[in-house]
Chains A and B, each alone.
Chain A
Amino acid sequence: MRRILSSITDGKGFDILLVSLTMIFLIVMAGLPLLYNVLMSFQQVDMFNLGTFSRPFIGLENYQDVISQPEFGLVMKNTAIFVFGSIIGQFCFGFALAIFFMAKFPFASTIRGLFLVSWVMPGLVVGALWGFILAGDYGVLNAILQALGVTNGTMFWKSDPNLSIWAVTIANIWLGLAFNMMLLSVGLAGIPGDLYEAAELDGANGWQRFSTITLPMMRATIGAVLALGLIYTLQQFDLFPAITEGGPANSSSVAQYWAWQWSFKLFDFAKGATVSVMMLIFVLIASIVYVWSTRHEVRG
């Protein structure tokens, strides 16, 4: 007993105590629910047996039910549009801005920092702002597009089933762009400047310098940013209830919103768990890519 006590004040016991407290909390609040989620996806869960621990197992029936829903294909397609549209948009704009802000001019880092304000704003507020900007008849985006001559008609971003998923995607690109830019800036700052000088002396033009120095040197960072983009995009929820509520007719519903609707609108918790488990597979793939690329970064 005394040895344990003295280990806690002076030895390894101190470290183990600090780590295990946190780990126990995380296992109880995140690890166990994760397993519980998988368990529920094989059970029948309804309002009557919600509070009990013994529920009938029904095998893969939930999975079959979910896949045979008429909106299943649409939701998967929307998820793909939302995820890839967001990642591509955030990455391209973020990368362009990051390169721009590497130039030397007064207050460069302060102005760049201001972009990050989007990242600390509550998602629901961002959704409210974009819901108003994207409104059909009186939305300011339509007015700007018409003034620039991009389009003549009125785009009903939120109520046109062909556009509604793009409305949320645009808002999400805005939301995630700054964070992408910030991470890419860190990567860019890590590239030694003399590489560029040497290339310039050798007569390489701007594009050659970008494709032979910037891109290869940034490989690990780009991998991490893209994987993080996938992770954060699949985490994005708040914009959906704020802008379209998944509508009209599920045309802007994505997996994470659909899972929530199953559980908290239809109170079919087993189906919600099932959709979540399906989504989780994608998240796990992304996080393996992320961990792999950050590892590359540290160990170099």
Chain B
Amino acid sequence: MSRVPVPKLLFVLAIALAAIYLFPLYWMYVTSLKGQSEIFANPPTFWPRNPDPSIYPETWARRNMSVFLWNSVVIGSGVTALTVLLGTGCAYVLARYRSVWIDIGLFAILMLQVLPASVMITPLYVGFNQLGLLNYPRTAVILAASAKAIPFYIVLVRATFMNVPRELEEAALVDGNSRWGAFFFIVLPLARNGILVLAILTFMQAFGEYIYSKSIITTQAYQPASVGLSGFLGPNSTDWNGIMAYAAIYVTPIVAIFVILQRRIVAGLTSGALK
């Protein structure tokens, strides 16, 4: 009597589940390759009759994507730099000690993590307006988005620092290092991987940031790709292959990085997400 091996069956089922779940991504690429009339066909075709990639250069030029994407990169890099700079040291201290003060600090950071951006944008906009920061819209967005990213970064990087053995740092201090030396040459290199993964995640999140940019940046030349996409997207949009081509150009780098670093990203996320 031959039995179907269970693990193989489960594997096939898992692939099927993943395929169903990731169908929207597949649909984005397929739709972008379809012709205008095929998009509105009913029933839809699940593979384009005449795949036509010419929509990609066309959308890139017509929607001025190089400017939008450059602004996304600027905002993403700014947020990541500020977050790593301010968050790493704080996470280290919060991981190193256990006291009432540390608990209060952690609690405050957790509370800041939960504030919705749609709640923060009104006071931030009015405040930035009074301070004149709206004249530097990308800087304003970077500051606002960093305040949103830092609490999340601290919570997860703290978990990484918790795994660095205290003894190594203490040995460095006994050897005559200052606290700075021990931090930069012993602790940071040991936590490097976790920090790197979370910096990439922070960049990805900031790269797709929408609400702050939409509200603060009114000059088109400074708007990121998310705001550019929203310009021709809405309940009544019809230019679907243009939208899908735009979306594909926008997310393919993120998806590619994610797939390559998948194991590390998942490990970095799960290690601290619940602690």
Contacts and interface: CB of A to CB of B under 8 A. Distances in A.
Given A105-B7, A105-B10, A237-B116, A124 B230 contact: yes
Interface in B90-116: 90, 92-94, 96-97, 105, 107-112, 114-116
Contacts of A18: 89-90, 92-93
Contact of A10 (B42, B115, B178): B178
Contact of A269 (B117, B122, B178, B210): B122
A260 B211 contact: yes
A36 B123 contact: yes
B10 A121 contact: no
A40 B87 CA distance: 30
B44 A140 contact: yes
20 contacts: A14-B183, A18-B92, A19-B89, A19-B90, A40-B126, A111-B14, A113-B265, A124-B210, A128-B229, A132-B240, A143-B42, A158-B235, A183-B274, A235-B114, A245-B234, A259-B118, A260-B121, A260-B215, A287-B114, A298-B275
A164 B186 CA distance: 55
Contacts of A103: 10
B226 interface: yes
B221 interface: no
Given A114-B262, A121-B208, A159-B235, A105 B27 contact: no
A120 B258 contact: yes
Interface stretch (A27-35, A57-65, A192-200, A204-212): A27-35
A57 to B, nearest CB: 16
B160 interface: no
A22 B208 contact: no
A237 B118 contact: yes
A122 B114 contact: no
B43 interface: yes
A221 interface: yes
A57 B89 CA distance: 41
B147 A276 contact: no
A237 B235 contact: no
B220 interface: no
Contacts of A241: 210, 214, 230, 233-234
Contacts of B129: 50-51
A212 to B, nearest CB: 23
B97 to A, nearest CB: 7
B266 A105 contact: no
Contact of B233 (A111, A131, A159): A131
Given A128-B243, A129-B27, A115 B21 contact: yes
A1 to B, nearest CB: 18
B94 A29 contact: no
Contact of A116 (B39, B180, B237, B266): B266
Main secondary structure of the interface of A (DSSP, over half): helix
Given A18-B89, A260-B121, A124 B146 contact: no
Interface in A101-158: 101, 103-118, 120-133, 137-138, 140, 143, 146-147, 158
Interface in A160-200: 174, 177-178, 182-183, 185-187
Given A34-B123, A40-B123, A294-B275, A22 B22 contact: no
A183 to B, nearest CB: 6
A22 B90 contact: yes
B168 interface: no
A25 interface: yes
A237 B210 contact: yes
B87 A238 contact: no
A110 B233 contact: no
Most chain-A CB neighbours within 10 Å: which of B18, B105, B114, B178? B114
Interface residues of B, number: 104
B171 interface: no
B150 interface: yes
A244 B215 CA distance: 18
Most chain-B CB neighbours within 10 Å: which of A121, A245, A264? A121
Given A248-B235, A279-B116, 12 more contacts: A9-B178, A22-B90, A45-B126, A105-B14, A111-B15, A121-B208, A122-B226, A125-B226, A147-B43, A182-B269, A243-B235, A269-B125
Contacts of B92: 18
Nearest to A233: B116
Given A125-B247, A159-B235, A283-B115, A263 B122 contact: yes
B28 A291 contact: no
A119 B258 CA distance: 10
Interface in A13-70: 14-15, 18-19, 21-23, 25-26, 29-34, 36-37, 40, 45, 50-53
Nearest to A263: B122
